[in-house]
Structure 1
């Protein structure tokens, strides 16, 4: 029987902290974020009333992106700030006021552990998971600015090959809203890869109502920024994660050379 525990919780001493980092002393211009890196659920929340078969699906996290993000950050020696908890607990790329922040239904799955939450319950999740993650991103960007280190924000995600019965043809997509520098460069380099179907704001587009990381940490701060979405069946094993990390490391190194040559960073 699935168990749903008290939704009003503190993280227990046995729970991992929400923020995971790699290469914090990096001088690379790229700052990687990964909002849906992990699928942990705090002990106090049980399993949110879901079987394990649901908790390993794309509704719980961005499958494959943890491996890509880690390998990519290490290849470029870039700082990665990632978030360990499942998006079913609280989605760290949604404004906290929107309904999808703590979803009652994800795709066709009802999340019974999210039913009947009070405002205090929701605030507890935000205070324990969402706020520390985004506060850390803020601290990192502030520290980089004080050191005079340029910051190019890249938010890493993955997407399911089929959503609501509709197949998605793209291998990778760039996601953006207001930045006019990084997304065109990414699109140009990705489209030069002859084996790729590249989405331009596909399968998603960034907006202030549906996204948080890029609008708040990228656009409001005037940073060059883009989201990257990779199709999950391409990064479902270590070989796929490695191949995509290698490809993106090469492309982003080329973009860094261009940005430096044009004195944009």
Structure 2
């Protein structure tokens, strides 16, 4: 698999992930599967326009800025993906077809059509595997040091999809395992009557999700997946505002845990 990786990323391509504040001491580990929008040079932009590569189909708009601000406020490490979810979706099982989308919200992804197994394996080896290995390594190191970890996965969602206007400002997703933190955080956010908060909305966490089930469930970690509406965090001010809201909610929820 190492050979396939070297055929995809070239010297001018960045690393598949970045870790901010790696020595952060809080109980939180922040991650963002879809923070990046880069496409390896060898893939020629996937046949998409620059405008399409900046849309919600390619990147969770605002999550990198929110994550970096929140990492500072919480003193937490933040691991985030560099490459677009259209290259390979790091919140999907790499063995499943939907890990590399053929179309998204009505847009055909030309560069993802008719991929052979070697091309798929190259993307897995170069991008998907190293990102998840970095998360695993961080979790293993924290466990070895006796450091409590709550996994907080940051995502964002488009305000309108398929003609449906999405009213939520933020959603908290949860499924199996230790959901007490997610439920406590949900309650904290719902206490703010100025915002509309989704409980497993606009998406429901289930078996299509990959990251939380892979890292939190077998380690018996508390976790939450946060979805913020993209029009609220499309600029620096919005990102700072929502980082502050999440800092208050996460800290308050953590303090209420037994």
TM-score category, normalised to shorter length = over 0.9
Residue deviations 1:87-140 (CA, integer Å, cap 9, x gap): 000000011122220011011000010111101100000000000000010000
Name the residue aligned to 1:206: 205
Matched-pair contact (CA < 8 Å) for 2:188–2:249: yes
Name the residue aligned to 1:32: 30
Matched-pair contact (CA < 8 Å) for 2:22–2:77: yes
Name the residue aligned to 1:4: none
Residue deviations 1:26-84 (CA, integer Å, cap 9, x gap): 22100011000110001111110011111110000001111101100111110111101
Name the residue aligned to 1:116: 114
CA distance in 2, matches of 1:61, 1:43: 17
Residue deviations 1:206-233 (CA, integer Å, cap 9, x gap): 112x111111011122100110000001
CA distance in 1, matches of 2:6, 2:126: 11
Matched-pair contact (CA < 8 Å) for 1:8–1:120: no
Superposition deviation, residue 182 in structure 1: 1.1
Matched-pair contact (CA < 8 Å) for 1:8–1:121: no
Any runs of at least 4 consecutive aligned residues in structure 1 with deviations exceeding 3 A, and if so which? Answer: none
Name the residue aligned to 2:50: 52
Matched-pair contact (CA < 8 Å) for 2:24–2:76: yes
Superposition deviation, residue 202 in structure 1: 0.3
Q: Structure 2 residue aligned with 1:237, among 230, 235, 241?
A: 235
CA distance in 2, matches of 1:194, 1:126: 43
Name the residue aligned to 1:74: 72
**1:14 correspondence with 2:12:** yes
| CA-based RMSD | 1.3
Superposition deviation, residue 8 in structure 1: 9.3
Structure 2: runs of 5 or more not aligned: none
Q: What TM-score, normalized to structure 2?
A: 0.95
CA distance in 1, matches of 2:159, 2:95: 28
Q: Structure 1 residue aligned with 2:143, among 131, 137, 145?
A: 145
CA distance in 1, matches of 2:6, 2:81: 20
Residue deviations 1:168-205 (CA, integer Å, cap 9, x gap): 11100011111331121011100111111110000111
Name the residue aligned to 1:256: 254
CA distance in 2, matches of 1:248, 1:119: 41
CA distance in 2, matches of 1:19, 1:13: 15
Matches within 5 A, 1:99-248: 99-178=97-176, 179-208=178-207, 210-248=208-246
